[in-house]
Amino acid sequence: MSDDSDLDRVQDRAERRQSERASTIESVLEEVERHLGDVEYPVRGEELAASYGAEALDLPNETDTAGRKS
């Protein structure tokens, strides 16, 4: 019987921690949403090209450049 009550306590604590983490995550996401508001970011290729296509982009290997170079 003692083993069952120990398992129940462990399960209860685990569920409580999980609930607390979920609440924390939800509050963080709400805060992020408040800060970002209605900001929209380009997500399609056409939108990215329109927004950033005129800028030169140095690639990590430092030998190539993408985009237009002035």
Domain boundaries along the sequence of the chain: 1-37
Q: For 17-59, give the DSSP string.
A: HHHHHHHHHHHHHHHHHHHHTT-----SHHHHHHHHTTS-EE-
For the segment 1-10, the average pLDDT, to the nearest whole number, is 84
What pTM did the predictor assign? 0.42
Q: What's the confidence (pLDDT) of residue 66?
A: 58
- How far does CA 3 lie from the centroid of its chain? 40
Q: What's the confidence (pLDDT) of residue 24?
A: 92
pLDDT, one tens digit per residue, over 7-65 is: 999 999 999 999 999 999 999 999 988 888 777 776 788 887 787 777 776 667 766 55
Q: What's the confidence (pLDDT) of residue 41?
A: 72
d(CA 14, CA 8): 10
